[in-house]
Amino acid sequence: MRPPETVDTGLALDWTARDFRAHFTPEKLLRLHPHWHLNDLAAEGATWRAALKNHETEKDFDLVFRLGFSDRPDDDQCMRIEFEGAPLEALVFERASGRIVVRLEGLRPPGALDDFQPELWLRGILGYLGMYTRPTPGRLINRVVMNRFLIPMNPSQRKICIMIYRFTVLEVVVILLIVVGYFLFMR
């Protein structure tokens, strides 16, 4: 087992544990992994058991975890995800001088749960957090689309919708270029 690894996310968010609790349910956290399809999620006391399928490898696996939020307002630890039988003991989100820092505790070499891939999951969570750093119109639209439409989908549906969305944006840009070109060069 390696010592804890700290990752400075570079995200200037001054969120407390209450903000994390409001935005991250166990289901939403699991759906932020780009390859996991959530088949079932059940609470067993303070522990959650998720039946997942890795969309990339087509393998089914179970993930048992505990999700905790600090109740003290002066605590810098915002969210803690503890795992049972995974290649990672805990994923801890903390505040450090106005930024979000992630600590990966108890990294073990991959074994029984090779489909866990904490790097991909962390990238998905940080991408979601990044939409809350500055309230620009583009990020607000992306937040609404992500929360209402993309997160509830399984990974293949999500990829298809993102591809259609990109083609639609490209079509609109091409149409605008044609219209602007017509009025600039034909007159």
Give tens-digit pLDDT for 29-55. 999 998 899 999 999 888 999 999 988
What's the number of CA atoms in the CB half-sphere (13 Å) around residue 46?
9
Q: Is 185 strand, coil or helix?
A: helix
Tell me the sheet residues that pair with 79: 69, 93
- Cα(109)–Cα(130) distance, integer angstroms: 29
Distances in Å between the Cα of 35 and the Cα atoms of 23, 54, 119 are: 21, 5, 12
What's the number of CA atoms in the CB half-sphere (13 Å) around residue 100?
26
- Cα(98)–Cα(161) distance, integer angstroms: 35
Q: Is 98 strand, coil or helix?
A: coil
Give tens-digit pLDDT for 18-29. 888 888 899 999
Q: Which of 9-13, 77-81, 177-181 has the highest mean pLDDT?
A: 177-181
Strands of the 59-69 sheet, one edge to the other: 5-8, 99-105, 90-96, 77-84, 59-69, 47-54, 36-44
Which band of pLDDT confidence, cut at 50, 70 and 90, is reported for residue 71?
A: confident
Query: Which domains are seen in the chain, by residue range?
Result: 5-133 (3.30.530.20)
Q: CA nearest 129: which of 57, 55, 22?
A: 22
Give tens-digit pLDDT for 105-161. 887 766 555 667 788 888 899 888 888 888 889 888 888 888 898 888 988 898 899
